[in-house]
Amino acid sequence: MLYEYINEDTGEVIEEDYSMTGSIPAKVKRNGKVYRRKFSTDSVSFHIPEDFATTDNKIDYGSSPSGKKRYY
């Protein structure tokens, strides 16, 4: 998985690839510069539809093989 690191002095952002199951360092050194882990999501935006939090779920009684109620 790719992780972003930022240099405090220059603001330069780099990406490093580490395994999700292994340890992920808080700081890395590259070309004599020290980069710290960047945790913000300022480059990512999320779009949430207007009807995402609706409370009127529809019930379908016959879609599952067991015949139990299913919400969708």
- The answer as to whether 30 is a domain residue is yes
Which pLDDT value is given to residue 67?
62
Indicate the SS3 state at residue 28: strand
Overall residue count recorded for the chain in this entry: 72
**Whole-structure pTM value:** 0.53
Q: Give the range of the structural domain holding residue 17, as residue numbers without chain letter.
A: 1-39
Domain count, the chain: 1
Confidence of residue 39 (pLDDT cuts 50, 70, 90): confident
**51 domain residue, yes or no:** no
State the Cα–Cα distance between residues 35 and 52, nearest whole angstrom. Answer: 38
The β-bridge relationship of strands 70-71 and 59-60 is antiparallel
What is the pLDDT confidence band of residue 46, given thresholds at 50, 70 and 90? Answer: low
Q: Does residue 56 sit within a domain? A: no
Are 28 and 16 within 8 A, CB to CB?
yes
Rounded Cα distance, 46 and 67, in Å: 36
Q: Are 5 and 36 in contact (CB under 8 A)?
A: yes
Residue 66 in domain: no
